[in-house]
Structure 1
Amino acid sequence: MSFVDKAKNTVQQAVGKAEEAVGKRTDDQEQIAQGQKDQHMGAARQETEKTKDALDEK
């Protein structure tokens, strides 16, 4: 997994957590949903990168 891809995914997850927290504080359901979406997308990309790495090792 490239370091840059891993960093981007981690940042996306962190931004998602922040968006969700702000959405909860302001009672903004749309922002909460966007934050959760960003977190899930970052996690899914991390899993994709891990799978790629596993295939490359074989």
Structure 2
Amino acid sequence: MDKVNKKNDKLLNTIEHWLGGLQELRRYSAYSRLIKQLNRASNDYVETSKKSF
């Protein structure tokens, strides 16, 4: 029984690490999308400013 508990504990710890890694990847993906949108908005602003001169 003790051996089963140790195996289950190891499995649950592994799952926890994987889920933490997935959360980190999701966070970086969201950051990347934010940067792309900010760059796009900045470029649009610059182009509009150039046209007004």
The bucket for the TM-score relative to the shorter chain is 0.5 to 0.7
Larger Rg: 2
Larger RCO: 1 or 2 (CA < 8 Å, sep 6+): 1
The TM-score normalised by the length of structure 2 is 0.58
Give the TM-score, by structure 1 length. Answer: 0.53
Identity %: 6
Number of paired residues? Answer: 33
Misfit runs of 4+, over 4 Å: none
Runs of at least 5 residues in structure 1 that lack an aligned partner in the other structure: 1-25
After superposition, the CA RMSD in angstroms is 1.3
Q: Which structure is higher in helix share?
A: 2
Instruction: Summarize deviations over 1:6-53 as a string: whole Å, max 9, x none.
Output: xxxxxxxxxxxxxxxxxxxx7410000000000000000000000000
- 1:55 matched to 2:16? The reply is no
